[in-house]
Structure 1
Amino acid sequence: MARDSAHREIALLRARAQGLFPADAAAPGPVVGALLALQAQDLAAATWAVGARSPGATLAGVRAAIDAGEIVRSWPMRGTLHFVPGEDLGWMQRLTTARLLQQARLTHERQGLTAPVYEQARQIAVAALSGGRSLGREAFQALLERNGIDTAANRGYHLIWHLAQTGTLCWGPTAGNAQELVLLDEWVPHPRRLEHEEALGEFLLRYIRGHGPATLADFVWWSKLTVAEAKRGLQVARPQLAERRIGDTSYWVAAELDGVVPDAAQRRRFAASAWLLPAFDEYFLGYRDREASAAPEHHERIVPGRNGVFQPIAVAGGRVVGTWRRRMLGTAAAGQRLGIDIAPFEALSAAQAAGLRRAGERYARFRELGLGEFDVGELRVGDTAAQ
């Protein structure tokens, strides 16, 4: 029971740090700034990760923030696409790029991607994109091909990754359901400049503020910095952090939360909360130890085969209670609506089902659609059945 109580407290405090509970009216840009980075290789999922933390936001509004450069999508860490505040991308990459390039070196060399090829591709990119121009992925790869650079067998992706990882490119304005490539120096004209030690402290501090309570091991997993770098970051950020013991484990929280304990009213509201969160959401993904949000026996359902592909999650009372998917109903001409299917891990209560339906309605509003069918296991709820 004490372990369950500790998990509930950790989940509540993490949901608050992540802007999920209580959800405030933060705009998309500040949402990303508060978390520092949200995993974003799935662009549609990442836009909803922002929307879920920005009540009243729509997909169009999040795309507008992307188009304005308030949110930038690139490879700041783990070799994985993330949303980050544009001004923070440069100092993050200066901490992580050298190790990632070393890890990728043999793969790239086997594909014939050498320093002269990278430099030729960089010069082509600068010439084509200078002056605020942009190109989609296929168009950029076609440009490389016309200039004698082979992009087959995934070489095009690796070239884009290298040029972004080394600070030439990033993803810029939206184009349909994708984004176009731009020059980073033009898209982010005023990056923050941090010294190495300051950047280590900033990395850890921003992670804890947007994800805490969390352990140093959680941060090392999330950032892929070394343990030594994480410890040095902790030394730098220590005056702005507090160590807090929950259950039998010590966690780090922002200093302003030291001693703050959720009251009975907050706990009741949290127990009644429900969210539909996207694939790869930080609420589950952002920690090495994920027991506070989901029972270990359910982790295989969230990440089938432990293959790194995280499913969209249904959360009730701070616990992941199932996965979900969306369906489009009807035709564009007749007016489309959204269908949502929940695959619960165990039987849900009527209150949980009702809460998840409300979460589905919120997601439908984000997509500027009506919610049609809503399925929870064997329970099927139509348009007129929600009470």
Structure 2
Amino acid sequence: MGGAERHIGVAERRARLAVRHRLAGPARAAGPEEVADSLVALHGSDPATVHLAVGARLADPAKTVPETERALYADRTLVRMHGMRHTVFVFPADLTAVVHASTGLTVAARERAALLKDMATAGAPDAAWLAEVETSALAALARRGQATAAELAADEPRLREQFAYAAGRSYEGVHTVSTRLLRVLGVEGKVVRGRPLGSWTSSQFRWAVAPEHPETDPAEARAVLLNRWLATCGPATEADLQWWTGWRVTEVRRTLAAVGARPVSLDDGTTGYVAADDLAPVVAPPEPWAALLPGLDPTAMAWRQRDWYLAPELRPPLFDRSGNVGPTVWWNGRVVGGWAQRADGEIVWRFLDPGVRRDAEEAVADAAARLHGWLGTTKVTPRFRTPLERELSG
């Protein structure tokens, strides 16, 4: 890739984050589509994260729930589907084909092979039988428009078949065909999650047939995805890119070369990369800003190497044992604490950084009031709970 052409320090990285991630006041977005387009992807493993991440970035947070529901379920301008690292995300609709070709195909092949292997090991029916069930289930889903796994099983009873999984191991269990097959169809881009059974905080979803999209060359799709992500998160290291995309390091390097990414030096001595046209400096840092971001927020989870915005000593109370970040308090481009919601709806927070100034306290209080203003009486409990969140919420 050649030597670094410019140096981008921590201050500039934080300024880029503030503006490009729609967190500084003047940079806030008009609607959820604008938020998703700016971030490339919203984490969807915890359904509430999608709305909370959007609400933190809207100029008018009162629009959070109705506008996000509209985009997801009425206009379908946003699509909830499996993406990088076999994780559920919400993507702009125009990126679904790109994500499927760049990351989904590889994961899908692995998931289908694993399903067939597990079924064979358990003595369950073979691939031909599974293909029949799949065809029947997709036809039933097309007739219904949207359906739960139980509703589909009413049309195709073979979906209720069970088989043992990992017999003799500590995590052995029994899987239904519907659970595993719908998961495979999701990563294959044949089905997507539809409306939840309950409110926007519910983790139980209906399924829908995925919208049609053109077949895309995987290498071209990787170039599009990486360029979009660099425009949002550059500079990023190879390690950041490999972690976020789930690609092999050879694919990362090949794609960086294909898009003409430009190397820059970083404060920690490593090399980062920005998009080919992104070497110009940020004109001016934004005014001081604060934000309360949810667990699994796409900004907090965007980079693997996080020291420039999250001090290592702050991590133990803010992450669970699997590496999932909980709710975080931000001040001027860095994490300074965590927050939670109590049973009565009150938003509470704690600073973990002893160097936080009084103006930060006032700004965080305003951000908490802003969040409480649109949440109202809705109670949100993160799917992946962290030590500080548990303590504060109690």
Match of 1:278 among 275, 291, 294: 294
Equivalent pair of 2:101/2:215 in contact (CA under 8 Å): no
Structure 1 stretch displaced more, 65-74 or 151-160: 151-160
Q: Could you report, residue by residue, the CA deviation over 1:172-201 in whole angstroms, capped at 9, with x for unpaired residues?
A: 2344234321000xxx24x35432332121
Residue 41 (structure 1) aligns with: 45
Decide whether aligned partners of structure 1 residues 202 and 109 sit closer, same or farther in structure 2, where only a CA change above 3 A counts: same
Report deviation, 1:328.
Answer: 4.2
For residues 292-371 of structure 1, the aligned pairs below 5 Å read 292-305=308-321, 307-329=322-344, 338-347=345-354, 348-367=356-375
How far does the alpha carbon of each residue in 1:208-260 deviate from its partner, in whole angstroms, 9 at most, with x for none?
1122221232111100111111122112211xx44333333332223443222
Task: Work out which of the residue numbers 32, 35, 46 in structure 1 matches 2:36.
Answer: 32
Q: Which residue of 2 aligns with 1:181?
A: 207
Question: Residue 244 of structure 1 aligns with which residue?
Answer: 264
Name the CA distance, whole Å, in 2 between partners of 1:95 and 1:192. 13
Q: Distance in 1 between matches of 2:152 and 2:144?
A: 15
* TM-score relative to the length of structure 2: 0.79
User: 2: distance between equivalents of 1:115 and 1:18?
Assistant: 45
Cα offset, 1:85, TM superposition: 1.7
69 and 353 in structure 1: CA distance in 2 versus 1, 3 angstrom threshold: same
Aligned-pair CA distance for 1:14 = 2.3
What is the letter of the counterpart of residue 96 of structure 1? Answer: T
1:16 aligns with 2:19: yes
Cα distance 1:290–1:192, how it changes in 2: closer, same or farther (>3 A)? Answer: farther
Alignment partner of 1:130 is 2:142 = yes
Q: What is the distance in 2 between the residues matched to 1:34 and 1:237?
A: 19
- Does the 8 Å CA contact 1:90/1:192 hold for their aligned counterparts? yes
Work out whether 1:171 is the aligned partner of 2:179. Answer: no
Q: Secondary structure at the match of 1:54?
A: coil
Q: Is 1:201 aligned to 2:217, yes or no?
A: no
Contact 1:17-1:212 within 8 A present in 2 as well? no
The Cα of 1:29 is off from its aligned counterpart by 1.5
Moved more, 50-59 or 71-80: 50-59
Tell me which protein shows more strand as a share of its residues.
1
- In structure 1, give the amino acid aligned to 2:252: A
Partners of 2:153 and 2:159 within 8 A in 1: no
**Structure 2: unaligned runs, 5 residues or longer:** 1-7, 164-172, 380-387
Q: Is the 8 A contact 1:35 1:209 kept in 2?
A: no
Partner deviation per Cα, 1:77-116 (whole Å, 9 max, x = no partner): 2111111122322332223234324554446633557634
**Take 1:366 and 1:23, find their aligned partners in 2: how far apart are those partners?**
19
Q: Distance in 1 between matches of 2:357 and 2:155?
A: 56
Unaligned runs of 5+ in 1: 330-337, 381-387
Match of 1:64 in 2: 70
**Residues 109/59 of structure 1: CA separation in 2 closer, same or farther (3 Å cut):** same
Q: What's 1:92 paired with?
A: 99
Which secondary structure does the structure 2 equivalent of 1:199 belong to? helix
1:291 correspondence with 2:307: yes
Q: Choose the corresponding residue for 2:242, options 220, 225, 233.
A: 220
What is the CA deviation profile of residues 298-356 of structure 1, one whole-angstrom value per residue up to 9, with x for unaligned ones?
12222133x13321111112111112111242xxxxxxxx3112133244433222111
Secondary structure of 2:162's counterpart equals coil
Following TM superposition, by how much is the alpha carbon of 1:138 offset from its aligned partner in structure 2, in angstroms?
A: 4.4
| Aligned equivalents of 2:81, 2:70: Cα separation in 1 | 17
AA paired with 2:208? V
Is 1:303–1:309's contact at 8 Å kept on the other side of the alignment? yes
SS at match of 2:299: helix
Quick one: which amino acid aligns to residue 214 of structure 1?
Answer: A
**For the residues of structure 2 that align with 1:133 and 1:207, how far apart are their CA atoms?**
33
Q: 1:50 to 1:119 in 2, by over 3 A?
A: farther
Asked if structure 1 preserves the Cα contact closer than 8 Å seen for 2:105 and 2:188, the reply is no
**SS where residue 309 of structure 1 aligns?**
coil
Q: 1:168 to 1:309 in 2, by over 3 A?
A: same
Secondary structure at the aligned position of 1:182 is classed as strand
Task: Tell me which residue corresponds to 2:282.
Answer: 261
Q: 1:154, CA displacement in angstroms? A: 4.3
Distance 1:126 1:218, change over 3 A: same
Q: In structure 2, what is the Cα distance between the partners aligned to 1:100 and 1:226? A: 12
% identity of equivalent residues: 24
Aligned CA distance change for structure 1 residues 328 and 98 (closer, same or farther; 3 Å) = same
Deviations 1:21-80 (A, max 9, x none): 343334211321232222210000122112222221322211111112111111122111
CA RMSD of aligned residues (A): 2.9
Alpha-carbon distance in structure 2 between the residues aligned to 1:141 and 1:349: 57
Number of residues of Structure 1 aligned to a counterpart in Structure 2: 350
What letter is aligned with 1:289? Q
Residues in 1 aligned to 2:157 and 2:375: alpha-carbon distance in whole angstroms: 37
SS of 1:130 mapped into structure 2: helix
Greater RCO, 1 or 2 (C-alpha within 8 Å, sep 6+): 2
| CA spacing shift, 1:257–1:24, aligned 2, 3 Å | farther
Contact 1:218-1:287 at 8 Å conserved across structures: yes
